[in-house]
Amino acid sequence: MEENNNQEDKAATGNQRSNPENPESFEGLKVTAPKTVAAGVPAVISSVKHILSEMDPLRGMKALLKVNQKSGFDCPGCAWPDPDDDRSRIAEYCENGAKAVAEEATTKALRSDFFALNSIEQLADFDDYRIGKKGRIAQPMYLPKNGTHYQPISWKDAFDLIARHLNELASPDEAAFYTSGRTSNEAAFLYQLFVREYGTNNLPDCSNMCHESSGVALNESLGIGKGSVTLEDFYEAEVIIILGQNPGTNHPRMLTALSKAKENGCTIISVNPLPETGLVAFSDPQTVKGVLGIKAKLSDIFLQVKINGDLALMKAISKLMLEEERKSPGTVFDHEFIKEHTTGYDALLSNIDKYQAEELSGACGISISQLQEVASVFCKKKKIIACWAMGLTQHKNAVDSIKEIVNVLLLKGSIGKPGAGTCPVRGHSNVQGDRTMGIYEKPSQKFLDSIEKNFGFRPPQHHGFDVVDSIKAMHEGKIKVFMAMGGNFLSATPDTAYTAAALRKCRLTVQISTKLNRSHLITGEEALILPTYGRSDRDLMNGEEQFISCENSMGVIQKSKGNLNPVSDQLKSESAIVCELALTVLGNRTRVNWQKYLQHYDNIRDDIERTIPGFDNYNQRVREPGGFYLPNSSRQGYFPTRTQKANFNVADITPIKLEEDELLMMTIRSHDQFNTTIYGLNDRYRGVLNERRVIFMNEKDIQKFGLKDRDVVDLYNFYNGRKRMAHKFIVIAYNIPEKCCATYFPETNVLVPLESVAEKSNTPTSKSVILKVQKSEVHPH
């Protein structure tokens, strides 16, 4: 890679100051003590404020009463499952779910007059928060070559432009088609069908950047890349261990499930470099106790692990359990399960014996006494659930770390039984469903054969590009057309300046979007924004209301039907956009009857049923209240791996070496955020208000580096000969292990090297970024 200067790409990162009128000022920052309880009345107040800031009370109430209801629409936020039976009729959503609905259902509409008044250069100068608050895209918009402003374009002309660009390419592999996790099952299926009939498997998606490591690890260990538990299992569990996850902010409704588990006697263990409020205590605002501010303690044990210390932690637990098993054979491990269902047991034990407990303690940062306490809990229990999120998946050794968790569960026989199993907690609400529908750059031969059998064309047989490889290919000129079905690709991806340069090298970039975001402002030579419905929008086709379907984190397929009038009559559904695009691009070449999909979504689901296993009687079962569960081999107790058994994994500890002046950084979300969508500038639980450009550091590191609390610093690193730099971050002393630090995503994505990825999954290592800090020339006022 070429040398990069020390200046940030301002258009790609924006003016990220809390005071845009005076970007040198830090006067808005306020730091308070972290909160000791999550949710409660403050969450209700926050929800109401966000709803009323975007729409009138009637529209807001109409939307909220249908969120996550069996007759309503799926929350556009996280993928946490809805209860099968005991759903609240009034509020089956959380604070951040209400924020997500407010963002999507806003009545602020951006039409041609807005874009005529605001150039892309002017808009790019805003931070992501202010860009997102502008409103919904209300009509198709086009940025011509060398243009400074978007201008209106008809749907027909937009489709013709895309068709011309795609059909002029020397190979279909010169185009890439990205997918966001918000895309419905129906739209995702059609999207991959169109892309494969066009002739490529270049289907990067947001999973490449989050739970790809989980899919790889679970597929190789257990034969299925999904979690095994249901929500009911939480209520039966004896132990729940939560690693690298902050449910209070990212999956708040999970706190209700944990609270119920706790009431049933479950021991909850939380593992994270930062103490997170949501895992300390929970005040349920839908109960009398919650309204009165009476909190329920959640975590029994908190393990403040070093960043990237999870593999060593789980190996230490296995080692201490093994010591107890050898003292009293048959009392700790489930030997019947191990013998009947697993392979690699002896090799695992040999690997564990290589390590001393003290060595593992030092590697993970957890004392021997705490490790013994946790191991004692595991030794005595059999119903164990392990939950994790991106705190585990975005490291170089992420796949092995997740497999080490699986090792512990297999030793205990804690997979395929009630109250036990794996639970990778997905982020976006249909990211798992999109993969089920075939959004994958490395499709199985079985899936490709099914496409050929059912649709009469031979899909490409070679693998395509994932997110990281797509960015590299754009930068090298190998990809000339980039299309995104939802999401905010630029802000979600690593190495912001490099990714921006890659996008600018494209001939055409196309964004199918609900709201304005930064990816609309960093474009190819030409660019299109195609406006689409949100989850809450009513979808009429041929005079009949349609519904879509989604898959949650636990494999439930359920319908989602919007109930609000769209902000514009120029919006199209994702499915309709794909069908009309396919007809325009492929013309007489197509073997697919795209017209029937434009008649009714039932026709899409009929073809999903005959193409993808597990969707028998799809249209009938998805109409049943609550939907249906997809088959899950791990849940059912069999493991279709290459060995036809669950595989123990052998992995060694490989500590990340830091120089004296280096820190290991992980990116995190604030409480006013979901993925790249910034709802506000407050991180209420961590006590940081009115500012996002901060770095959380251990007080000893602050002193060692000659800094003090509230100093302004620049962050930088070197990787493969290129310097990356992020300017003007405020130092905040925080409870985090020494040599570790944390910053908000996406502000520090600019520091995440594109080439630093997880082994096997190719996921960017956004949770283990080596960096240095230096005092900035700017000082707070």
Half-sphere exposure of 7 (CA within 13 A, CB side): 3
pLDDT band at 548 (very low <50, low <70, confident <90, very high): very high
What pLDDT sits at residue 429? 80
| Model confidence at 288: pLDDT above 50 | no
Q: Averaged over 249-276, what is the pLDDT?
A: 91
Percent of the chain with pLDDT over 90: 79
pLDDT digits (tens, 9 = 90+) for 10-51: 788 765 554 545 545 567 899 998 887 776 667 777 788 888
**CA angle, residues 580, 583, 585, in degrees to nearest 5:** 105
| Model confidence at 93: pLDDT above 90 | no
- 188, 433 Cβ separation under 8 angstroms: yes
Q: CA 758 to CA 394: how far, in whole Å? A: 7
What pLDDT sits at residue 372? 98
Of residues 70 and 531, which shows the higher confidence score? 531
- 79, 553 Cβ separation under 8 angstroms: yes
Compute the mean pLDDT over every residue in the chain, rounded to the nearest whole number: 92
| Model confidence at 481: pLDDT above 70 | yes
Structure tokens at 345: 């047991």
Given strand 526-531, what is the order of strands in its sheet?
Answer: 151-152, 141-143, 526-531, 508-513, 481-485, 175-179
pLDDT digits (tens, 9 = 90+) for 45-79: 778 888 888 888 889 888 888 888 888 888 888 87
Q: CA 495 to CA 765: how far, in whole Å? A: 11
| Model confidence at 82: pLDDT above 90 | no
User: What CA–CA distances, in Å, run from 168 to 194, 311, 313, 508?
Assistant: 17, 49, 53, 12
Q: CA 574 to CA 597: how far, in whole Å? A: 12
Percent of the chain with pLDDT over 70: 93
Least confident span in 102-106, 500-504, 648-652, 687-691: 102-106
Count the Cβ atoms, other than its own, within 10 Å of residue 760.
Answer: 14
Pairing mode, strands 556-560 and 548-551? antiparallel
Listed in sequence order, the DSSP H helices in 293-397 are 310-327, 335-341, 345-353, 357-364, 368-380, 390-393
Alpha-carbon torsion, ordered 139, 140, 143, 145, to 10 deg:
-150
Instruction: Give strand ranges (E) for 369-520.
Output: 384-388, 421-424, 481-485, 508-513
Residue 746, preceding peptide bond in cis (omega within 30° of 0): yes
Helix, strand, or coil here: 686?
coil
Helix, strand, or coil here: 426?
coil
Nearest residue to 176 (alpha-carbon basis) of 493, 583, 455: 493
Buried b or exposed e, range 397-413, using 16+ CB within 10 angstroms = bbbbbbbbbbbbbbbbb
Q: Which amino acid is at 450?
A: S
Structure tokens at 339: 């013998």
- 6, 716 Cβ separation under 8 angstroms: yes
Q: CA 398 to CA 376: how far, in whole Å? A: 26
Radius of gyration of the chain (CA): 25
Of residues 256 and 372, which shows the higher confidence score? 372
pLDDT band at 8 (very low <50, low <70, confident <90, very high): low
Give the single-character DSSP code of 366.
-
What pLDDT sits at residue 162? 98
Q: Averaged over 649-678, what is the pLDDT?
A: 94
Least confident span in 7-21, 155-169, 552-566, 642-656: 7-21
Which DSSP string corresponds to 530-557? EEB--TTB--EETTEE--EEEE-TT-EE
Q: CA 755 to CA 468: how far, in whole Å? A: 8
Give the single-character DSSP code of 695.
E
Of residues 285 and 48, which shows the higher confidence score? 48
Of residues 524 and 20, which shows the higher confidence score? 524
pLDDT digits (tens, 9 = 90+) for 553-603: 999 999 999 999 999 999 999 999 999 999 999 999 999 999 999 999 999
Q: CA 760 to CA 395: how far, in whole Å? A: 11
Structure tokens at 590: 């197509």
3-state helix/strand/coil string of 489-514: HHHHCCCHHHHHHHHHCCCEEEEEEC
- 663, 771 Cβ separation under 8 angstroms: yes
Least confident span in 104-108, 145-149, 444-448, 531-535: 104-108
What pLDDT sits at residue 292? 43
Residues 6+ apart with CB under 8 A from 423: 227, 228, 229, 385, 386, 387, 388, 553, 554
> How many helices (H) does the chain have, and how many strands (E)?
32, 33
**CA angle, residues 371, 374, 377, in degrees to nearest 5:** 150
pLDDT digits (tens, 9 = 90+) for 353-403: 999 999 999 999 999 999 999 999 999 999 999 999 999 999 999 999 999
- 665, 751 Cβ separation under 8 angstroms: yes
What pLDDT sits at residue 6? 43
Q: CA 194 to CA 460: how far, in whole Å? A: 12
- 337, 420 Cβ separation under 8 angstroms: no
| Model confidence at 136: pLDDT above 90 | yes
pLDDT digits (tens, 9 = 90+) for 316-347: 999 999 999 999 999 999 999 999 999 999 99
Long-range pairs of 470-476 with CB within 8 A, sequence gap ≥ 24: 470/176, 470/178, 470/202, 470/204, 471/495, 471/498, 471/499, 471/502, 471/754, 472/502, 472/754, 473/176, 474/176, 474/502, 474/503, 474/505, 474/506, 475/501, 475/502, 475/505
Nearest residue to 683 (alpha-carbon basis) of 292, 278, 135: 278
Long-range pairs of 512-515 with CB within 8 A, sequence gap ≥ 24: 512/483, 512/484, 512/485, 512/486, 512/574, 512/577, 513/137, 513/484, 513/486, 514/104, 514/136, 514/137, 514/486, 515/103, 515/104, 515/106, 515/132, 515/134, 515/135, 515/136, 515/137
Q: CA 475 to CA 174: how far, in whole Å? A: 12
pLDDT digits (tens, 9 = 90+) for 440-464: 999 999 999 999 999 999 999 999 9
Q: Averaged over 488-495, what is the pLDDT?
A: 96
Q: CA 337 to CA 322: how far, in whole Å? A: 16
Of residues 72 and 528, which shows the higher confidence score? 528
Alpha-carbon torsion, ordered 14, 18, 19, 24, to 10 deg:
-70
Q: Which amino acid is at 287?
A: T
Nearest residue to 310 (alpha-carbon basis) of 737, 770, 659, 670: 737
Most confident of 27-31, 276-280, 742-746: 742-746
Residues 6+ apart with CB under 8 A from 102: 50, 51, 53, 54, 55, 60, 679
Q: Averaged over 481-508, what is the pLDDT?
A: 97
This prediction has a pTM of 0.94
What pLDDT sits at residue 427? 77
Buried b or exposed e, range 275-287, using 16+ CB within 10 angstroms = bbbbbbbbbbbee
